[in-house]
Amino acid sequence: MSKPLSFYRSYFLSKTMSFLRRRNGTDSSKTRVADPNIEKDGADNDDKKKDQYKMPQRRNYGSKKWSCWDNCCWFIGFICSIWWFCLFLYNTMPDSIPQFVTMAITGPLPDPPGVKLRKEGLTANHPVVLVPGVVTGGLELWEGRHCAEGLLGKRLWGGSFGEFYKRPLCWLEHISLDNGTGFDPPGIRVRPVTGLVAADYFATGYFVWAVVIANLAHIGYEEKSLYMAAYDWRLSFQNTEIRDQSLTRIKSNIELLVATHGGKKVVVLPHSMGVQYFLHFMKWVETPAPRGGGGGPDWCAKHIKAIMNIGAPFLGSPKSIALHFSIEVRDIAALRAQAPGLLDKDVLGLQTFKHLMRMFRTWDATFSMIPKGGETIWGGLDWSPETETVNNSAKKGTDNSTRNTGGNGNICDTKGVNYGRLISFSKDWAETHSSKIERVDFKHVAKGDKLTNSSNCDIWLEYHEMGNRAIKAVADHKVYTAGSILDLLHYVAPKLMARGASHFSYGIADDLDDPKYDQYKYWSNPLETKLPNAPDMEIYSLYGVGLPTERGYIYKVAPPSDCSIPFQIDTSVDGDSEDSCLKGGVFSGDGDETVPIISAGFMCAKGWRGKTRFNPSGIRTYNREYKHAPPANLLEGRGTQSGSHVDLLGNFALIEDVLRVAAGATGEDIGGDRVYSDILKWSERINIKL
């Protein structure tokens, strides 16, 4: 017979109470001692038992010392917490708060150029075409290897670069081109992002064209009157047409802009390498099909009002030599010197420098940046346009050195500097007169003694096939000018340069009417091609001055090692004075940190000025220089008066010039030439047939 529910309830309660009494030491099954002395002894024993268990724990806990590992973890956690908190505040605060704080500290901000000119009554007039330069345009994935699963349609270049951190080797494989063909490797398709978002920002918060676009919008421009001529900046210029029909798209879009704006011609704004790309386009568009666009000899005259070249490397940049030779520039070399060997070692499977060199050497468009014009433009063993002649022991009693006085005062003291020597192996050879230099003819030195274990190199570079004799011969040549630098690159990287030489040329044409110059490899070199027959068109060169810009390098041979890059910039070498142009193994001249003034300014100052054989129709040219001024404080960001190569796109004075021309002004209306440097004097020193 089942027991009633009340029985189970009573049983459960009794057991529970019994358990609680035992926990409290008051079990009813035991009799409490009434003697107070016994009770006191029991209490003392209980206290001792408690102390026995508690005191050691407290003593151990209180005496524990933090290790270095604990400190590091705490510090990293603290920094990450602060970072994420600041990021949270930045993303949640209203957009007006940073501006309010800035105004409270610095006072009222000046009106942006677009707002200022709108108040003057300027409005949108001519449609505008933007041509981005190297590395600033976004690239996205359309087909990839298994390691890139989930990235279809997402950016591999530009934006957040998140995939670079997650899977670096996979990213390098997809962003590199095929060494043989110059196109995508089999099974990979990476294509340029289209639209204004292709190059408005390079990464979050780092503007490229965004400031220019915003100011154009202030005077009435919108997407239907703006066109971003995006292209895959890794490919050679002609290959962008072969693979993506990029040149045809530019031609069609410019024709559409002119047709939809009542026949008003476009104003073109190329930046950096985009300047050379658009030079190539102008020759291509007028060349008969199928070699060119078939637009006819008057296409540019009908469709282009002005070309406002920004940070133009018309004649290349010495930086490209260092990048092709040792994948270094000034900042990278300085980092390498601060952490010797770190970037060369196999850290977490990443041989950083060798991966970067392999990737960079697959980007054919970078060949367009190698200096053009040889010693005629860049100087020889004992002269350069910026210093004319060099004071040395062979010319006693003469001192024609000058102080390079660019946009923001004295850049450096050029006394004894010969910029014509683009690469020197030691400071002594950079300064010694040419009559005292005995150089080895490295071109005939065999490369038979390959470096040991070169066949086992994980990252293949052509340096692996040189051998110690060839490396020594390169260093024993001692000095390289713009006339011998091509021989050097052909020797150390013959397969690389064979591909580059099929797409680009670096000389000066003797006869521009020679039929050979109708070949596309000459079209981006302004010294080997003619400007179009468009006398009403205007060409501007807008560039920054007042910043130390790489002009030459002192190299050393790195310690022998398997699978290594054998040449490095010698960062231990400095000039003899504090304001010397030689610092950290790099000779600096005036420019915008990337492009020297000679490259940016010569063509508009002399090569194209008036009717010349390079400019037979007499297109008007203007040089507009912008003095560099750093931001007054951190709240100004990258500054509104910067002359730096990319930051120049945020320079208010430059943007105002662009907006006035887009609204209908001519070069004379905005003041003609504005020159702070010695470009006119330097150009006169360059002896070239015009």
Catalytic residue set: 272, 592, 645
For residue 203, give the amino acid letter: A
Segment (H or E) for 610: none
Residue with tokens 């011969």: 473
The number of CA neighbours under 13 Å toward the Cβ of 495 is 15
Give dist(CA 128, CA 257) in Å, integer.
Answer: 9
Give dist(CA 284, CA 278) in Å, integer.
Answer: 9
At CA 543, angle to CA 539 and CA 544, rounded to 5? 165
Residues 6+ apart with CB under 8 A from 618: 535, 610, 611
Give dist(CA 577, CA 573) in Å, integer.
Answer: 12
Region class of 205: left (phi > 0), else alpha (psi between -120 and 50), else beta: left
Q: How far is CA 92 from CA 80, 88, 95, 584, in A?
A: 18, 6, 9, 43
Helices (H), ranges, 64-125: 68-92, 96-106, 113-119
- Provide the CA 582 distance to its chain's centre, in angstroms: 23
Pair 260, 638: CB distance under 8 Å:
no
Pair 106, 633: CB distance under 8 Å:
yes
From 399, 400, 393, select the one nearest 432 (Cα to Cα): 393
For residue 168, give the amino acid letter: P
From 285, 273, 278, select the one nearest 248 (Cα to Cα): 285
Q: How far apart are the first and last CA of the chain?
A: 124
The DSSP bridge partners found for residue 569 are 555
Give dist(CA 137, CA 159) in Å, integer.
Answer: 10
The DSSP bridge partners found for residue 106 are none
Hey, CA dihedral for 427, 431, 434, 436, is it positive or negative?
A: negative
Residues 6+ apart with CB under 8 A from 23: none
DSSP state of 365: G
Helices (H), ranges, 493-564: 494-501
Q: How far is CA 86 from CA 89, 95, 294, 360, 473, in A?
A: 5, 15, 55, 35, 55
From 448, 350, 416, select the one nearest 582 (Cα to Cα): 416
Over its C-alpha atoms, the chain yields an Rg (Å, rounded) of: 34
Name the burial class of residue 46, with classes exposed (0-12), middle (13-18) and buried (19+) by CB atoms within 10 angstroms of its CB. Answer: exposed
What b/e readout covers 292-323, taking b as 16+ CB neighbours within 10 angstroms? bbebeeebbbebbbbbbbbbbbbbbbbbbbbb
Pair 213, 200: CB distance under 8 Å:
yes
Pair 572, 585: CB distance under 8 Å:
yes
